[in-house]
């Protein structure tokens, strides 16, 4: 089976299990989504969702957030990890949004990546989930699954993103990003992975066995 055929077969399995995946980070608008995604770096979505209500009670827009002391932001977001760096980034990007963008989150990759603490993956998530623009955010989890499912041999997330974009039609990227995340959590974890309990690994493991028997 060619890689592109494998990719589309995997997409069909993902559709069967997660046909309409919701955005896992709780938010009410583009700005709160941006902050939640920034906080999710090296942190679980569950922890972020427990932390952001306290933060957004203090400030849920760039105007109010830019007025908060960085130390106060840091104390609230401490459970998410990397609090000193994240709090400075939240304060800094909020000030830039107020001064440069009239309090609005920009909708271009270049402008988003120009904000403090906003890397390529965070910008990609905001572009596709807030603005509906085609992007394929790849984090370490999607990178791991793409390698396990033989969709990419990329040694880093940047190469894996390029490989996945070549394999799947652009109109599938936004949903696939979320489907892979949910599927990985439910069936294909990094630890304690049982290939026969995973619909994708089971399917293609079986095909590999058939192929090896034919060759023997």
Catalytic residue positions?
121, 139
Q: Count Cβ atoms below 10 Å from residue 78 Cβ, excluding itself.
A: 14
Residues written for the chain: 216
- How far is residue 131's CA from residue 107's CA, in Å, rounded to a whole number? 7
- How far is residue 190's CA from residue 184's CA, in Å, rounded to a whole number? 8
- How far is residue 116's CA from residue 201's CA, in Å, rounded to a whole number? 39
Asked if residue 90 lies in contact with residue 68, where contact means CB atoms within 8 angstroms, the answer is no
- How far is residue 86's CA from residue 96's CA, in Å, rounded to a whole number? 15
């Amino acid at each position: 089976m060619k890689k592109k055929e494998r990719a589309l077969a995997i997409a069909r399995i993902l559709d069967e299990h997660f046909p309409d995946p919701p955005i896992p980070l709780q938010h009410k608008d583009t700005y709160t989504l941006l902050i939640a995604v920034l906080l999710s770096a090296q942190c679980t979505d569950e922890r972020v969702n427990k932390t952001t209500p306290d933060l957004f009670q203090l400030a849920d827009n760039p105007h109010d957030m830019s007025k908060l002391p960085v130390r106060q932001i840091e104390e609230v977001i401490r459970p998410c990890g990397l609090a000193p760096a994240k709090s400075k980034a939240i304060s800094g990007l909020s000030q830039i949004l107020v001064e440069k963008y009239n309090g609005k989150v920009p909708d271009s990759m270049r402008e988003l990546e120009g904000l403090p603490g906003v890397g390529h993956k965070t910008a990609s998530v905001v572009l596709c989930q807030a603005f509906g623009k085609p992007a394929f955010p790849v984090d370490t989890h999607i990178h791991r699954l793409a390698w396990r499912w033989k969709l990419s041999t990329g040694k880093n997330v940047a190469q894996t993103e390029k490989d996945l974009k070549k394999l799947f039609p652009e109109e599938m990227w936004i949903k696939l990003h979320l489907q892979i995340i949910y599927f990985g959590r439910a069936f294909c974890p990094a630890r304690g992975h049982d290939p026969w309990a995973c619909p994708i690994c089971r399917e293609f493991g079986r095909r590999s066995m058939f192929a090896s028997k034919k060759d023997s």
